């Protein structure tokens, strides 16, 4: 196959396909906002690198005939294109005589695997925004017989309690060890012989327990914070996104880290629609900023979800009592794999078309309308060495839009 076939457009198209095939978590999330970047706003200006996404209002509702008008409060979150990732390579004019398959194997696949892993790893890091959790940090999920699916069905209960749609868009992206445990634990339990064959042949899961399962080597790990002391709530009737606490061991760095989860005695989750208390289900809170206790053992923790006891955005049955016990999920220093069960709409990846430079040897850009992923290739020629330095770039940004539609599976 002659070098006339290896045009920048062909190489970039191949790069896009290789990139998509290496994305695991990314394939399962929403990517509908990519089309909005680079477009013209009402005033004729491009929207820039940040897009405000509206979140739907929530209501309390009423009973009886008397009207009770509620404010329609819309909230928004920012989706920003914050990361430009790329790989820079160089090849000779002789390399361009290769077939596209050979060229892809030698140059494109290694380069795009790096970019894909960076994108996916950044996406999996969004676990730090997710407050619902099942499993025990540092403890294997492996179980035999029908219990192999229990962590995932438990996560399904969490998703149900937060009003997550029961449709084909629920996913479980899990670590390689979790996948291996599942394949062993579920061997022979499915009636679908095609799924059984796939488990044995490929060592992978398909669809089960309401999820589409995918394995991702980029499942992040969390190291549980130092903790220490007997942490308690300091002051009754607290609400909002911070919590004043006491009882910690005095002043130690990283008493709790971003992504640590805890519960508060007597503070229970509520049904997202009816606001009725969920019996026995303590609300879980995620730490959103590193917390270190003060000299006296007190300190303020930044949390999500906010403590709200009224309105359509109610999150808990009641504010914590003064002196209520705080219980952190996981032992101090434990390293825990953070697999995720989630609905597609929990997370979004946005990409944009990078500007095409002028005065270069060749340039090309390819975007996939279905996924929103856009890859740009720019190539220059160096006459002294007969080399073609080349750069491949992707501009993207991740956002956890609705953390209530996701649940961590810790092991």
Decide if 411 is inside a domain: no
CA separation, residue 202 to residues 33, 190, 197, 199 (Å): 34, 16, 8, 6
| 141 and 237 both lie in a single domain | no
Q: What is the pLDDT of residue 202?
A: 47
**10 Å Cβ neighbour count for 384?**
5
408 inside domain: no
Q: Are residues 76 and 175 in the same domain?
A: no
- 410 domain residue, yes or no: no
User: Per-10-residue mean pLDDT for the chain, 411 residues long?
Assistant: 52 73 81 62 50 62 69 68 87 76 78 85 96 93 70 94 92 90 68 53 65 90 94 96 94 83 97 88 97 91 96 91 98 96 93 86 80 82 87 91 95 91
Residues 288/245, Cβ–Cβ less than 8 Å = no
Same domain, 83 and 135: no
Whether residues 202 and 243 share a domain: the answer is no
Domain count, the chain: 3
Q: Max Cα separation, the chain?
A: 85
Per residue in 238-253, is it b (16+ CB within 10 Å) or e — as a string?
A: beeeebebbbbeeeee
**Any domain includes 407:** no
d(CA 226, CA 187): 39
Does residue 288 share a domain with residue 197? no
Per the CB < 8 A criterion, the answer to whether 243 and 303 are in contact is yes
How high is the pLDDT of residue 365?
86
Q: What is the 3-state secondary structure (H, E, C) of the chain?
A: CCHHHCCHHHHHHHHHHHHHHCCCHHHHCECCCHHHCCCECCCCCECCCEEEEEECCCCCCCCCCCCCCCCCCCEEEEEECCEEEEEEEEEECHHHHCCHHHHHHHHHHHHHHHHHHHHHHHHHHHHHHCCCEECCCCCCCCCCHHHHHHHHHHHHHHHHHCCCCCCCCEEEEECHHHHHHHHHHCCCCCCCHHHHHHHHHHCCCCEECCEEEEECCCCCEEECCCCCEEEEECCCCCCEEEEEEEEECCCCCCCECCCCEEEEEEEEEECCCCCCEEEEEEEEEEECCCECCCCCCCEEEEEEEEECCCCCCCCECCCCCCCCEEEECCCCCCEEEEEEEEEHHHEEEEEECCCCCCCCCEEEEEECCCCCCEEEEEECCECCCCEEEEEEEEEEEEEECCHHHEEEEEC
Q: Are residues 253 and 300 in the same domain?
A: yes
Q: Which domain holds residue 31?
A: 3-125+348-398
Reported residue count of the chain is 411
pLDDT at position 62: 65
| Residue 406 within a domain | no
Residue with tokens 């606001």: 275
For residues 228 and 222, what is the distance between their CA atoms, to the nearest angstrom?
Answer: 18
Write down the pLDDT at residue 374.
Answer: 84
- Nearest residue to 129 (alpha-carbon basis) of 225, 25, 261, 278: 261
Same domain, residue pair 248 and 320: yes
CATH number at residue 276: 2.40.30.290
- Give the pLDDT score at 136: 92
Say yes or no: 234 and 141 in one domain.
no
Q: How many Å apart are CA 389 and CA 361, to the nearest integer?
A: 10
Question: In terms of Cα–Cα distance, which of 251, 247, 242 is closest to 231?
Answer: 247
Cβ contact 269:282 at 8 Å: yes
Q: What is the CATH number of the domain that holds 196?
A: 3.30.2320
CATH number at 79 reads: 3.30.2400
Cis ω on the peptide bond leading into residue 198 (within 30° of 0)? no
| Residue where one domain finishes, among candidates 328, 361, 390 | 328
């Amino acid at each position: 196959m002659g070098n006339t076939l290896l045009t920048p457009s062909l190489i970039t198209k191949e790069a896009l396909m290789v990139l998509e095939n290496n994305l695991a978590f990314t394939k399962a999330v929403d990517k509908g906002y990519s089309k909005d970047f680079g477009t013209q706003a009402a005033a004729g200006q491009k929207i820039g690198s940040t897009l405000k996404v509206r979140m739907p209002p929530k209501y309390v509702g009423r009973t009886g005939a008397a009207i009770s008008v509620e404010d329609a409060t819309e909230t928004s979150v920012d989706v920003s294109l914050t990361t430009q990732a790329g790989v820079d390579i160089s090849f000779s004019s002789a390399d361009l005589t290769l077939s596209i398959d050979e060229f892809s194997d030698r140059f494109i696949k290694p380069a795009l695997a790096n970019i894909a892993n960076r994108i996916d790893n950044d996406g999996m890091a969004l676990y730090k925004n997710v407050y619902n959790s099942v499993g025990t940090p540092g403890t294997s999920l492996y179980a035999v017989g029908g219990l192999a699916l229990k962590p995932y069905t438990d996560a399904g209960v969490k998703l149900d309690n937060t009003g997550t749609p029961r449709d084909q868009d629920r996913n479980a992206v899990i670590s390689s060890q979790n996948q291996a445990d599942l394949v062993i634990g579920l061997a022979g339990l499915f009636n679908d012989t095609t799924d059984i064959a796939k488990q044995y042949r490929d060592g992978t899961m398909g669809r089960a327990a309401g999820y589409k399962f995918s394995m991702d080597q980029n499942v992040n790990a969390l190291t549980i914070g130092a903790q220490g002391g007997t942490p308690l709530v300091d002051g009754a009737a607290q609400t909002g996104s911070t919590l004043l606490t006491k009882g910690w061991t005095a002043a130690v760095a990283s008493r709790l880290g971003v992504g640590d989860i805890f519960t508060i005695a007597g503070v229970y989750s509520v049904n997202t629609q009816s606001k009725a208390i969920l019996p026995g289900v303590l609300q879980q809170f995620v730490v959103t900023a590193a917390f270190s206790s003060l000299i006296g053992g007190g300190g303020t923790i930044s949390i999500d979800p906010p403590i709200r006891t009224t309105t359509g955005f109610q999150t808990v049955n009641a504010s914590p009592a003064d002196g209520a016990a705080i219980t952190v999920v996981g032992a101090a220093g434990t390293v825990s794999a953070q697999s995720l069960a989630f609905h597609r709409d929990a997370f979004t990846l946005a990409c944009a078309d990078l500007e095409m430079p002028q005065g270069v040897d060749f340039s090309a850009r390819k975007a996939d309308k279905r996924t929103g992923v856009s890859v740009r290739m720019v190539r220059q020629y160096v006459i002294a060495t007969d080399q073609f330095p080349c750069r491949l770039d992707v501009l993207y940004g991740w956002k956890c839009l609705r953390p209530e539609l996701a649940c961590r599976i810790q092991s």
